[in-house]
Amino acid sequence: MTSSSIDTSALEQIFSTCKLGHSIRFLPQIDSTNEEIRRGFSEGFPEGTVIIADCQTQGRGRQGRSWHSEAKAGLYISTLLKPQLPPDRLSCITLMAGVATASAIQQQTSAPIRLKWPNDILLNGKKLAGILCECLVEPDTTPAIIVGIGINLNHSHFPEEIRDIATSLKVETGKIISHTDLARQLLQNMNSEYEDFLQGKLTSLMQKWTQQSDLFGKTITVYHKDRSLTGQAIGLDLHGKLILQTPDGIQEHLDSGEVSFNSG
């Protein structure tokens, strides 16, 4: 009898012959599922190993932020990818994971999920989920990517500092979502999106991402390091870069940054 929030052996059976999810390790508590994959990479974890935790003590977000990881309230999941592709293709993996995650939540809940470049998943304008991709480079091996996904499911409240910007499926829909059902849908989508990605179906990926976002046609400001750039969001290029048209007509292709919507 397990008190974990997720039935990983059922998932392992479903994904036993798939690229992602053939081996799923569940941990009641860990510092970070991304960190656990990083440790396992050095020990030879194969591609597609999945780590799921009920609780993270040092969950990581983008740009050095932490990820609030209340026990059993969220889905905290990481997987290891080893695509044999040139490094300039790897930046699309965040968008691929975003499409897989947004679609999985939508399929399970019918909630109006939206994507915000590059890694945010929003519900009713608040952050519901996030993706953290980290690159692992070791001498004489092809680079590997850790894909970490955090989804706020059953939180009733959030710490003061993120209360205004974060939300959960329970807060927004009033429903308790099954970790196992959502993880199954997510791994199914990740397998299919990753297969398409490896086959080079980047136009289709960018189309799917664009359809699930409200970004394009809007005036936005992108903050990156100590620079900010305002303009109209035009689209994504095939490297997953955001194309921003500035008021002087120049189209900038941005590879990272923090987007904020301008009012008016």
CB of 105 to ligand BTN, least distance (A): 14
CB of 183 to ligand BTN, least distance (A): 12
Give the pairing of strands 49-53 and 23-27.
Answer: parallel
CB of 41 to ligand BTN, least distance (A): 14
| Residue 136 or 234 having the CB closest to ligand BTN | 136
| Residue 34 or 189 having the CB closest to ligand BTN | 34
> How are strands ordered across the β-sheet holding 113-116?
23-27, 49-53, 74-81, 144-152, 126-136, 120-123, 113-116
List contacts with ligand BTN (CB under 6 A): 32-34, 56, 59-62, 65, 67, 76-78, 119, 130-132, 148-150
Please say whether the dihedral angle defined by the alpha carbons of residues 218, 149, 113 and 125, taken in this order, is positive or negative. negative
Q: Which helix (H) or strand (E) holds 131?
A: strand 126-136
Q: How far apart are CA 81 and CA 153, in angstroms?
A: 25
| Residue 145 or 231 having the CB closest to ligand BTN | 145
Q: List the structure tokens of 37.
A: 């994959």
| Residue 61 or 143 having the CB closest to ligand BTN | 61
Q: Residue with CB nearest ligand BTN?
A: 130
Q: How far apart are CA 69 and CA 254, in angstroms?
A: 30
CB of 127 to ligand BTN, least distance (A): 7
CB of 139 to ligand BTN, least distance (A): 25
